[in-house]
């Protein structure tokens, strides 16, 4: 095959397999991927900057909205950092409640992933089934926290809502129902021939490569790298709860599927333990409005991997700097490596297998040199993007833009 037989397929920024905008330029030779260019950064929202002009309590609401799926883990990391800076010790009951919500969140995130993965490989029945079961978890979260995704349960110094006995009974009931379903999915994933054919050997990332690219979460655990913040650096009540780190040796999408399903079963165990051993007492301590000056890095285990928050306080009630490193940010590095040499059909599932969270990850980075700053206007930016694509062989049709419209 020579250069002429190659064809460039743009997957994204708008594509049915992507749930958020990102661009993957896939160069194909026949059905084989010979080159992949990963382009992220379409969804910059300026959350970190917004946090720097609001108080800590107001920031809590922004941080909760970093991610639509793993909102709790972000707010936990943020609250933990501030509590550490302020020298607060949250009540035990609050720590347990944080764990219960975190594990419910992991359940619904992994069930969502299972559905998306099923859809990417054209197995819509799995998609419908797992999203039906995800509804049970979401209903539970809505009953306990008042919201389906942005639970708003965390506050600086503890949690905002207490769970009563009836709620906890319902959680256990839901856990039993879900346990059966998860066993069925595990059975399905390890026996259904077409599923195994589509998943095994796809998106290989060996242990060495995981360590080289610094991948986290199920991607790393599927390659037998037993990194789990819940065990390595226990936070909230994880120090008192037995957590089994799920690892797998397949190092491919199949392994990641097994890891996620087994992690869900493990999550149910954690929830059962928490409900049984939920201590009595207060659910929050009073937090000061002004946080003492200092810097803090706080880590939590999001469903997608390790989530790191950096907080710098200057002693006022407004943070000086906040940095959110969502787990997807490090998982992107291995993506090109995973995509190349595969079939086109495997591209969507390989992208989906890291459970990417595009908007949580996208940041604007300004590279300054010699104090020079470039200012580009709208037309210039548009021309730049057209040239960028044309250089890579994608013909952007000459779309006429209204000249007079003011965008800003």
Partner 1 sequence: MLSALFKILIFPGFLFLSVYGLCLESLDRKIYARLQNRIGPPWYQPLADVLKLLGKGTIIPADANPGMFNFLPIVSLAAVASAFIYVPVWGNTASHSFDGDLVIVLYLLTIPTIAAFLAGWYSRSVYATLGSIRTLTQMFAYEVPMFMALLSPALIAGTWSVTGMAAFYSKHPLYILFNIPALFVALVSAQGKLERAPFDAPEAETEIVSGAFVEYSGKLLAIFKMSMDCELVLIASLISAIFLPFTTGIAVVDLLLYFVKTIVVLLFLSLMRSAMARLRMDQLLNFFWKQLSLIAIAQIILNLIIRSRLAL
Residue located via tokens 């969507």: 348
Q: Which one of the spans 83-91, 340-348, 362-370, 374-382 is the region binding partner 1 (CB under 8 A)?
A: 340-348
Residues in the chain: 408
CA distances from 356 to 197, 219, 250, 359 (A): 23, 11, 20, 9
Backbone angles phi, psi at 345, to 5 degrees: -60, -25
> Based on C-alpha coordinates, what's the Rg of the chain?
23
Minimum Å gap between C-beta 179 and partner 1 is: 18
- Rounded Cα distance between 333 and 206, Å, is 14
Cβ atoms of 285 and 158 closer than 8 Å: yes
Q: Which one of the spans 3-11, 39-47, 319-327, 379-387 is the region binding partner 1 (CB under 8 A)?
A: 3-11
**Which residue's CB is nearer to partner 1, number 9 or number 296?**
9
Token duo for residue 261: 């399903």
- Interface map 346-365 toward partner 1 (x if CB under 8 A): xxx-----------------
The alpha carbon of residue 60 and the mean position of all alpha carbons in its chain are separated, in whole angstroms, by 18
**Which residue's CB is nearer to partner 1, number 249 or number 395?**
395
Minimum Å gap between C-beta 383 and partner 1 is: 21
The alpha carbon of residue 100 and the mean position of all alpha carbons in its chain are separated, in whole angstroms, by 18
- Rounded Cα distance between 308 and 302, Å, is 9
- Interface map 122-161 toward partner 1 (x if CB under 8 A): xxxxx-xx--x-----------------------------
Nearest to 399 by CA among 385, 12, 24: 385
User: Binding partner 1 by CB under 8 A: which of 345, 364, 381, 396?
Assistant: 345
User: Binding partner 1 by CB under 8 A: which of 12, 115, 118, 157?
Assistant: 118
**Which residue's CB is nearer to partner 1, number 192 or number 224?**
192
Determine, following the binding rule CB under 8 A, whether residue 186 of this chain makes contact with partner 1: no
User: Binding partner 1 by CB under 8 A: which of 31, 176, 320, 387?
Assistant: 31
Determine, following the binding rule CB under 8 A, whether residue 329 of this chain makes contact with partner 1: no
**Which residue's CB is nearer to partner 1, number 30 or number 226?**
30
Determine, following the binding rule CB under 8 A, whether residue 15 of this chain makes contact with partner 1: yes
Determine, following the binding rule CB under 8 A, whether residue 399 of this chain makes contact with partner 1: no
Determine, following the binding rule CB under 8 A, whether residue 388 of this chain makes contact with partner 1: no
Nearest to 306 by CA among 336, 329, 333, 334: 329
- Rounded Cα distance between 152 and 34, Å, is 45
Determine, following the binding rule CB under 8 A, whether residue 198 of this chain makes contact with partner 1: yes
**Which residue's CB is nearer to partner 1, number 199 or number 271?**
199
Cβ atoms of 101 and 153 closer than 8 Å: yes
Bridge partner list, 237: none
Binding-site ranges for partner 1 (CB under 8 A): 7-10, 15-17, 28, 31, 118-126, 128-129, 132, 192, 194-195, 197-198, 343-348, 397
């Amino acid at each position: 095959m020579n250069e002429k037989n190659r064809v460039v397929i743009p997957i994204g920024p708008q594509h049915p397999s992507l749930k958020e905008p990102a661009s993957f330029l896939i160069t194909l030779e026949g059905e084989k991927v010979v080159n992949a260019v990963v382009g992220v950064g379409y969804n910059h929202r300026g959350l970190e900057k917004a946090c720097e002009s609001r108080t800590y309590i107001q920031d809590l609401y922004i941080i909760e909205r970093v991610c639509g799926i793993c909102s709790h883990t972000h707010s936990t990391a943020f609250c933990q950092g501030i509590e550490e800076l302020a020298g607060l010790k949250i009540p035990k009951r609050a720590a347990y409640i944080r764990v219960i919500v975190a594990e419910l969140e992991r359940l619904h995130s992994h069930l969502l992933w299972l559905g998306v993965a099923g859809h990417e490989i054209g197995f819509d029945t799995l998609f419908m089934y797992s999203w039906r079961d995800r509804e049970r978890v979401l209903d539970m979260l809505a009953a306990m926290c008042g919201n389906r995704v942005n639970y708003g349960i965390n506050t600086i110094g503890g949690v905002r809502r207490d769970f009563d006995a009836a709620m906890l009974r319902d959680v256990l009931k839901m856990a039993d129902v879900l346990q059966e379903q998860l066993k069925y999915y595990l059975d399905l994933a390890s026996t259904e021939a077409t599923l195994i054919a589509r998943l095994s050997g796809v998106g290989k990332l060996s242990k060495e490569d995981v360590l080289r690219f610094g991948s986290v979460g199920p991607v790393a655990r599927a390659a037998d790298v037993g990194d789990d913040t819940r065990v390595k650096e226990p936070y909230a009540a994880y120090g008192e709860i037995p957590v089994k780190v799920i690892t797998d040796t397949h190092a491919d999408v199949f392994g990641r599927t097994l890891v996620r399903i087994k992690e869900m079963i493990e999550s149910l165990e954690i929830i059962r333990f928490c409900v049984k051993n939920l201590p009595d007492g207060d659910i929050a301590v009073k937090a000061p409005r002004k946080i003492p000056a200092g810097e803090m890095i706080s880590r939590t285990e999001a469903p997608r991997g390790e989530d790191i928050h950096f907080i710098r306080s200057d002693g006022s009630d407004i943070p000086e700097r906040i940095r959110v490193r969502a787990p997807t940010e490090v998982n992107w590095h291995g993506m090109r490596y995973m995509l190349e040499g595969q079939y086109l059909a495997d591209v969507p599932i390989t992208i989906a297998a890291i459970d990417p969270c595009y908007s949580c990850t996208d940041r604007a980075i300004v590279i300054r040199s010699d104090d020079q700053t470039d200012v580009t206007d709208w037309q210039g930016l548009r021309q730049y993007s057209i040239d960028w694509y044309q250089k890579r062989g994608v013909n952007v049709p000459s779309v006429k833009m209204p000249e007079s419209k003011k965008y800003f």
